[in-house]
Amino acid sequence: MKQEYQDRKDTQALVDIRDVKLDSSLEQTERIRSFLRQIKNPYRFKVGDVVVDVAYTEGSATLNDCFADMLSIL
Where are the domains positioned within the chain? 17-73
pLDDT of residue 63: 77
Nearest partner of 42 among 60, 54, 28, judged by Cα:
54
Helix (H, G, I), strand (E, B) or coil at 46: strand
pLDDT of residue 65: 86
What tens digit of pLDDT does each residue of 32-48 get? Answer: 999 999 999 999 999 99
User: Given pLDDT bands bounded at 50, 70 and 90, which one contains residue 27?
Assistant: very high
Nearest partner of 48 among 23, 11, 10, 7, judged by Cα:
11
pLDDT of residue 2: 47
